[in-house]
Structure 1
Amino acid sequence: MPPGKRIPVEFNDMRQPKGDHASKLANLCRSIVRNPNYAPLQVEKWNDIPNQAKEMMWKYIKEHTDVAEEWRKWIMQSMAKKFRGHIK
């Protein structure tokens, strides 16, 4: 993303990202959990990732998207699922 540009994210009635930018959000989440600066390589379980690292992940999401705080839980669960898929 160009500096200062953020991905606009909308959610549907089923509380899922919708529209053209849903896949961009998914790709962003996937790239974060594969980045050893956020998710240390020696960690095998999402719950073992330090809360400080998860806070850094959320901060990165907030810097690159216009997603509201109310979606934090959903996004963190999505990243946990992507992390589990990456580790296997």
Structure 2
Amino acid sequence: MLLNGTWHWMEGNHGPRLAPTIHPDATKVGGGTTEITNAPVVGEDSVAEGTWYASRKQRDGSTAMPVSTTTRWRPGPSYYSNAY
């Protein structure tokens, strides 16, 4: 499933609630998700910003969990958790 323009996916349009619904649903049918986005504005807590922070954490080795369809997006300092 393609998630397009996730820098616009913010609390005001329920993007942070939609993203954690899409990821496990795509996994249930044997699929995955891909995000296409412009650079997020830091501090807006968009889905794209959460993905960016999670990818930095993975790159820096501060998390063993890969950024994948099994992760759940959450706003705030801890963007990914083992919720699923």
> Does TM, normalized by the shorter one, top 0.5?
no
Structure showing greater radius of gyration is 1
TM-score interval, smaller chain: 0.3 to 0.5
Provide TM-score, normalisation by structure 2: 0.36
TM-score by length of 1: 0.34
The structure with the largest strand share of the pair is 2
Structure 1 or 2: more helix by fraction: 1
